[in-house]
């Protein structure tokens, strides 16, 4: 388990007591008196979801996770059970939940889906987390109300939204850190509430930077492109900042506006297992996200009570990719420029329905992308995605509760860079879930859904600097899934188990062509089934936790070879364990994480190859000191951490090792 002392609560409770879940939506925060508090898994739905129908949700407060001073989303997700994060050959990071592709889940940032874009996925290694109040991960079958192209879970980052604001005093924080090879980071933030006769304003602002020249290599890894024991071309520089203002009236109405962004420069570590890896650098990568949102609060109507919320957002970014002639990175061979803008509009409306709740959401996203290679004429693309969804959550007999939903989603590509456009496509979706509390106190849930995912513009048309052959004939993927789980509470012990079975028809997978290029094609079917177990025992001094994931994932396609029937980069076994010991104002933690065998497509061999499983061990000790009794910046927290303590050779995917042993010292003044 990667979160220190994870606590469980009922995964079904949000469906059993939706009013309680709604009231708790924005209460995830570190205890003001004990900054080293443990994380909590609760039944609270992630921000902006209105019904989880019993699906387990993990909610964490970033400021009490073992993160760098200027963290990004990838750092946080690597600490959360059942979420697999890996770096790909483009230098980007990808997320996988239950064997899913990184394009199958949604990343909500202050209420907007970052995954609606040119590539239909988000690189969490550049998403800033400095101003985040909470992170919520719903694994498995998500609600239908989050918009199109969501079939395998949700990652929600809350910065400035939600129907409540619990800030009561001004706070400020300064964080800094350094590791043994000179990587360093700094972050500063402030939260300032002030009151009027009718409500409250809350200002949140902050910014920081992180920099490294390289990350260390494990002693078990040989990098033929490097000198010494540092990974070649793994340097990184990022600056991030955010500003948010929120107004909440005493009657419950609220308005919020925020702007956040980053600017980064980084290298792309080359793959070590092939003859001609990508020799890329990103000399420029930037993104600005502006969000305006608001809500009426719960109001009485002639038919009961209801609420309306809206979100309007602009996600604007650009990237430059330089391809070099050799591993000296001295001469540029080709350059790709990409400019992306996604405009998202969402409206959510909820209303009571007798003893139940009727929830509705409309989402529309317009994606524009400009692609240019060297001095060639630019190609322009445009895609429009819409989703109209409705769900009813209703109590049945006793403590039984049901959730039923349906959605109509569509996609059109009116502009395709001079290539053939795709005709407009429509797809329906449905979801049903039930949950209850048994007389023994065990909470159980079950759910089923069916959804589709439309191909991204990049999947259809991108050549990736001549590495891919475009395929504008791709069809939508169709997903169907089943899930059932139970959560047990006993004295100091909490245990949760979930069984799942998913089928993805017309799964989009990459193949190697005779020319050596990759191409994305629709496979017949991808099936995954598995078991997740998460447990925790807490005492006065010691907390022990563990997580286990077993899954069987296969591609069923008569045209695929035996090895090609194993999807890439999907370990079928993963496990973790942690022990935390509290000693007065100090907390010592040790965690062990194992990632099982996985397979990847070797472009030189034209087939899948096996990558053995590996184990890593992390440890940390943190202590809080009182600088002065009251006021701003009155407490100092120091942390010494060791990642990959035994310097194991752990790979994200074939040819791409994770860092070796990293020793970090961090300080936070609050």
Does any domain span residue 185?
yes
The model's pLDDT over 567-599, given as tens digits with 9 standing for 90+, comes to 888 999 999 999 999 998 899 999 999 999 999
Query: For the residues 180-195, what does the mean pLDDT come to?
Result: 93
3-class SS shares of the chain: helix, strand, coil, % to 5: 5, 55, 40
pLDDT at 28: 29
Domain containing residue 540: CATH number: 2.40.170.20
Q: What is the mean pLDDT of residues 184-204?
A: 93
| CA distances, 33 to each of 44, 144, 650 (Å) | 23, 38, 37
- Amino acid 258: pLDDT: 92
pLDDT at 130: 76
What is the pTM for the complete model shown?
A: 0.85
Q: How many CA atoms lie within 13 A of 284 on its CB side?
A: 9
Neighbours of 492 (CB within 10 A): 11
Tell me if 2 is assigned to some domain.
no
Weakest mean pLDDT among 11-15, 62-66, 339-343, 505-509: 11-15
> Of 271-285, 354-368, 409-423, 514-528, which gets the smallest average pLDDT?
514-528
What is the DSSP secondary structure assignment for residue 640, as one 8-state letter?
Answer: E
pLDDT tens digits, one per residue of 618-640 = 999 999 999 988 889 999 999 99
Q: Is 96 helix (H, G, I), strand (E, B) or coil?
A: strand
33 pLDDT above the threshold of 80: no
4 pLDDT tier (thresholds 50, 70, 90): very low
Judge contact between 74 and 94, C-beta under 8 A. no
Structurally, the chain folds into a number of domains equal to 1
| Nearest by Cα to 247 from 160, 374, 340 | 160
- Name which residue leads in pLDDT, 374 or 8: 374
- What is the rounded CA–CA span in Å between residue 334 and residue 350? 51
Provide the sign of the torsion angle of the four alpha carbons 326, 332, 338, 339, taken in this order: positive
Do the Cβ atoms of 532 and 497 come closer than 8 Å?
yes
Distances (CA, A) of 633 to 1, 33, 205, 332: 32, 14, 16, 47
Closest CA to 207 of 147, 260, 282: 260
Q: Residue 42: inside a domain, yes or no?
A: yes
Beta bridge partners of 594: 575, 615
Are 398 and 385 a contacting pair, CB within 8 Å? no
Secondary element (H or E) of residue 535:
strand 525-538
Considering the domain boundaries, does residue 91 fall inside one? Answer: yes
Query: Taking 90 as the threshold, does the pLDDT of residue 526 lie above it?
Result: no
Residue 7 inside a domain? The answer is: no
Residue 505: the pLDDT is 92
For residue 14, pLDDT over 50 is answered with no
The pLDDT of residue 42 is 33
Q: Return d(Cα 94, Cα 470) in angstroms, integer.
A: 21
Q: Residue 155: pLDDT above 70?
A: yes
Q: Which residues contact 62 (CB under 8 A, 6 or more apart)?
A: 71, 76, 129, 132, 134, 135
* 382 CB neighbour count, 10 Å cutoff: 16
- The residue-averaged pLDDT of 403-426 equals 91
- Predicted confidence at residue 668, as pLDDT, reads 92
Taking residues 443-470, report their average pLDDT.
Answer: 86
pLDDT at residue 563, rounded to an integer: 56
With 70 as the cut, is the pLDDT of residue 122 above it? yes
How many Å apart are CA 214 and CA 329, to the nearest integer?
A: 15
pLDDT band at 547 (very low <50, low <70, confident <90, very high): very high
Average of per-residue pLDDT across 448-460: 91
Predicted pLDDT at 29: 30
Separation between Cα atoms, residue 456 and residue 465, nearest integer Å: 17
Position 4 in a domain: no
**pLDDT computed for residue 361 by the predictor:** 96
Domain containing 159 equals: 13-669
Classify residue 25 as left (phi > 0), alpha (psi -120 to 50) or beta. alpha
Asked if residue 424 has pLDDT above 60, the reply is: yes
Question: Among 24-38, 442-456, 537-551, 594-608, where is mean pLDDT lowest?
Answer: 24-38
Has residue 5 been placed in a domain?
no
Q: If 0-12 CB within 10 Å is exposed, 13-18 middle and 19+ buried, where does residue 172 land? A: middle
Confidence (pLDDT) at 22 = 37
Segment among 182-196, 580-594, 604-618 with least mean pLDDT:
604-618
Would the pLDDT of 13 be above 60? no
**What percent of the chain has a predicted confidence (pLDDT) above 90?**
56
Q: Give the pLDDT of residue 422.
A: 83
- 1 in a structural domain: no
Check whether 80 has a pLDDT greater than 90.
no
Provide the b/e sequence for 330-339 (b: ≥16 CB within 10 Å).
Answer: eeeeeebebb
Would the pLDDT of 184 be above 90?
yes
The model's confidence at residue 370, banded by pLDDT at 50, 70 and 90, is very high
For residue 134, name the pLDDT band (cuts at 50, 70, 90).
Answer: confident
Taking all residues of the chain, what is their mean pLDDT, rounded to a whole number?
A: 85
Average pLDDT, integer, range 87-105? 89
Burial 261-270 (b: 16+ CB within 10 A, else e): bbbbbbbbbb
Check pLDDT > 80 for residue 565: no
Q: What percent of the chain stands above pLDDT 70?
A: 88
Whether residue 120 contacts residue 459, with contact meaning beta carbons closer than 8 Å, is answered with yes
Q: Do 531 and 562 form a contact (C-beta atoms < 8 A)?
A: no
Check pLDDT > 60 for residue 48: no
Please give the average per-residue pLDDT across 125-136, as a whole number: 83
Residue 621 is predicted with a pLDDT of 95
Q: Does the pLDDT at position 335 exceed 90?
A: yes
Q: How far apart are CA 536 and CA 494, in angstroms?
A: 5
| Mean pLDDT of all residues in 427-453 | 91
Residue 339: pLDDT band with limits 50, 70, 90:
very high
d(CA 71, CA 168): 25
């Amino acid at each position: 388990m990667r979160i220190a002392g994870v606590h469980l609560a009922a995964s079904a409770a949000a469906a059993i007591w939706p009013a309680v879940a709604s009231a708790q939506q924005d209460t995830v925060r570190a205890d003001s008196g004990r900054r080293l508090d443990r994380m909590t898994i609760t039944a609270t739905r992630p921000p902006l979801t209105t019904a989880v129908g019993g699906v387990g949700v993990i909610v964490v407060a970033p400021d009490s996770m073992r993160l760098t001073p200027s963290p990004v989303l990838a750092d946080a997700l690597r600490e959360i059970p059942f979420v697999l994060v890996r770096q790909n050959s483009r230098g980007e990071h990808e997320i996988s939940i239950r064997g899913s592709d990184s394009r199958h889940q949604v990343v909500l940032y202050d209420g907007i889906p970052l995954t609606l874009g040119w590539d239909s996925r988000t690189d969490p290694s550049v998403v800033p987390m400095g101003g985040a109040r909470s992170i919520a991960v719903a694994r498995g079958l998500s609600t239908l109300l989050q918009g199109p192209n969501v079939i395998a879970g949700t990652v929600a980052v809350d910065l400035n939204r939600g129907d409540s604001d619990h800030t009561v005093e001004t706070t400020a924080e300064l964080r800094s850190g350094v590791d043994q090879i000179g990587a360093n980071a700094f972050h500063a933030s402030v939260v300032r509430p002030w009151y009027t006769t009718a409500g409250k304003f809350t200002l949140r602002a902050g910014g920081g930077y992180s920099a490294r020249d390289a990350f260390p290599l494990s002693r078990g890894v040989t990098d033929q492109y490097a000198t010494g024991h540092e990974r070649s071309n793994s340097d990184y520089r990022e600056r991030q900042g955010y500003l948010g203002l929120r107004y909440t009236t005493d009657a419950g109405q609220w308005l919020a506006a925020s702007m956040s962004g980053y600017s980064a420069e980084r290298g792309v570590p080359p793959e070590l297992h092939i003859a001609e890896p990508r020799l890329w650098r990103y000399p420029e990568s930037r993104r600005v996200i502006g969000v305006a949102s608001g809500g009426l609060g719960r109001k009485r109507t002639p038919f009961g009570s209801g609420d309306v919320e809206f979100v309007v957002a602009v996600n604007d970014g650009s990237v430059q990719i330089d391809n070099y002639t050799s591993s000296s990175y001295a001469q540029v061979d080709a350059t790709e420029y990409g400019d992306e803008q996604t405009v998202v509009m969402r409206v959510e409306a909820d209303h009571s329905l007798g003893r139940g709740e009727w929830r509705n959401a409309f989402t529309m996203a317009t994606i524009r992308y400009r692609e240019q290679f060297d001095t060639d004429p630019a190609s322009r693309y445009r895609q429009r995605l819409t989703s109209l969804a409705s769900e009813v959550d209703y109590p049945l007999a006793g403590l039984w509760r049901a959730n039923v939903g349906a959605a109509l989603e569509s996609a059109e590509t009116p502009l395709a860079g001079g290539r053939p456009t795709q005709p407009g496509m429509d797809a329906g979706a449905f979801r049903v879930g039930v949950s209850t509390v048994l007389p023994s106190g065990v909470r159980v849930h079950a759910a089923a859904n069916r959804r589709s995912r439309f191909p991204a513009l990049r999947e259809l048309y991108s050549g990736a600097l001549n590495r891919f052959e475009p395929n504008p004939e791709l069809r939508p993927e169709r997903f169907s899934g089943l899930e059932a789980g139970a959560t047990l509470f006993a004295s100091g012990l909490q245990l949760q188990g979930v069984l799942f079975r998913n089928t993805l028809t017309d799964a989009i997978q990459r193949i190697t062509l005779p020319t050596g290029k990759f191409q994305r094609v629709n496979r017949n079917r991808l099936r995954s089934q598995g078991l997740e177990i998460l447990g925790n025992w807490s005492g006065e001094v010691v907390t022990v936790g563990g997580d286990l994931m077993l899954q069987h994932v296969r591609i069923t396609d008569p045209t695929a070879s035996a090895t090609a029937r194993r999807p890439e980069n999907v370990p079928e076994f993963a496990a973790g364990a942690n022990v935390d010991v509290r000693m007065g104002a100090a907390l010592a933690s040790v965690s062990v994480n194992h990632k099982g065998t996985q397979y990847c497509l070797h472009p030189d061999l034209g087939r899948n190859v096996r990558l053995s499983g590996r184990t890593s061990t992390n440890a940390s000790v943190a202590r809080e000191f009182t600088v002065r009794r009251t006021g701003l910046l009155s407490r100092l927290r120091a942390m010494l951490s060791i990642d990959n303590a035994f310097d194991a050779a752990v790979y994200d995917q074939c040819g791409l090792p994770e860092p070796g042993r990293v020793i970090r010292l961090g300080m936070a003044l609050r």
